[in-house]
Amino acid sequence: MLKARSNTRQNHIKLARQIVELALERGLRHGDHLPETALAEACGVSRTPVRSALKLLEKNNIVQKREEGGYFLNQSPERVGIDGVAQLEDMEDSLAARILADRAERRITDVQSVSALVRRYGVPRSAVLNALKILSTDGIVAQLPGRAWAFQPLLDTPNALAESLSFRLAMEPQAILAPGFRMDSQKAGLLRQQMEDFLTHSDGSMSAVAFMHIDCAFHSLIAESSGNRFLRGALLAHQRLRLTTQKDHSIPDFRLRQSLEEHLGILDSLERMQHQLAADQMVLHLRRSQIRKPQAANRGILPLARKGMA
């Protein structure tokens, strides 16, 4: 991903690592008790997230819950190591990827229950819920009233791509013009360097997939910088959806170069605090993509390339 997911699942994994570190620092051994209250005080949180972190550790066989006795170390902290909890995230990300792949291939329907996914993938209910939470942060699924989850439209058809660009055309210039726009200069500088390096590639060696990552990073930076929290949230979710589900990578080299040069021009205007000019440049940038994207999805790149070079 372009940035670390700042959600409840990640907080619980971080806290689980902190508990392992604390056990290591205090010299605890296999079989030692881990009192929730003491852990909450040491970590500066309430007992509720500590309990969730301990459940993650239990699922990974690092601690064991005993009836009426709380949680106890099931392995020594030295054996676990500070990174021992990472496999939890790997497992959940892997399941999320499988669900997304099946959705992209239309092997699962638009609305799914947790129970149906548990039966399909043969994994615990908690793993399915965590995988769905991962996908929900990327704007791919949304929880419905009750226990069902609905998949959002994928960006894998000409109509979906056209609607995506129309949405961005309406929202991204406004994100720039909203009061309080503030861009992280360090992130902008790193992104500028990546784009300039990419432009040094010769024709035929420019990866459209790599371009997509840079493109989403640029548009995510614009969203992150907006002073309007609602625009910021909607656009960031849409960029995550683009990165994970957009399969149309048939972009000719001349358009890759043109897009990167347009990105750099927008950054130049923003760094000079010329927000209206940057918004106008964004409109032009997205309209150029709007003209080409549906055609690219339907006809391939050769007619586009000929038209663009005419």
On whether residue 3 sits in a domain, the answer given is: no
CATH number at residue 300: 1.20.120.530
**CA end-to-end span of the chain, whole Å?**
37
pLDDT for 8 equals: 61
Q: Which domain holds residue 110?
A: 86-151
CB atoms within 10 A of CB 127: 20
User: What phi and psi, each to the nearest 5 degrees, are found at residue 65?
Assistant: -95, 130
**Are residues 300 and 182 located together in one domain of the fold?**
yes
Residues 276 and 255 in one domain: yes
Q: How far apart are CA 16 and CA 23, in angstroms?
A: 11
* End-of-domain residue from the set 27, 54, 80: 80
Residues forming beta bridges with residue 66, ordered by sequence position: 70
45 with 111, same domain?
Answer: no
- List of residues 6+ apart from 112 with CB closer than 8 A: 148, 149, 151
Pick from 209, 175, 199: which is nearest to 265 by CA?
199
Q: 2 in a domain, yes or no? A: no
Kindly state whether residues 284 and 196 are assigned to the same domain: yes
pTM: 0.59
Domain boundary (48, 80, 112) is at: 80
Residue 300 is predicted with a pLDDT of 38
Bin 38: left if φ > 0, else alpha if -120 < ψ < 50, else beta: alpha
Specify if 129 maps to a domain: yes
Instruction: Say whether both 65 and 181 belong to one domain.
Output: no
Number of domains present in the structure of the chain: 3
Q: Do residues 163 and 280 share a domain? A: yes
Taking a C-beta distance cutoff of 8 angstroms, is the pair 284, 250 a contact? no
Would 38 be classed as within a structural domain? Answer: yes
Same domain, 219 and 277: yes
Cβ neighbour number for residue 155 with a 10 Å cutoff: 21
Residue type, 107: R
Residue 119 inside a domain? The answer is yes
Find all residues with CB under 8 Å of 74, minimum gap 6, and list them. Answer: 30, 61, 62, 63, 64
Question: Any residues with CB less than 8 A from the CB of 175 and at least 6 apart, and which?
Answer: 181, 222, 223, 225, 226, 228, 231, 232, 235
- Domain for residue 64, yes or no? yes
Q: Does residue 194 belong to any structural domain of this protein?
A: yes
Q: Domain check: are 209 and 293 in the same one? A: yes
Residue at which a domain ends, from 80, 108, 129: 80
Exposed/middle/buried for 56, CB within 10 Å: 0-12, 13-18, 19+?
Answer: buried
Place of tokens 């972009």: 251
Question: In this structure, are 73 and 110 located in the same domain?
Answer: no
pLDDT for 135 equals: 83
Both 71 and 164 in a single domain? no
* Digitized pLDDT (tens) for each residue of the chain, 310 residues in all: 433 443 566 677 778 878 887 887 677 888 889 999 889 888 888 888 898 889 888 877 888 888 778 899 887 766 665 445 545 555 555 788 888 878 877 888 889 999 999 999 988 888 888 888 878 876 788 899 878 999 888 787 888 888 999 999 999 999 999 999 999 998 899 899 889 988 998 888 877 878 888 999 999 999 999 999 999 988 988 888 887 777 666 778 888 999 999 999 999 999 999 999 999 999 999 999 877 654 433 433 333 333 333 3
Same-domain check for residues 131 and 253: no
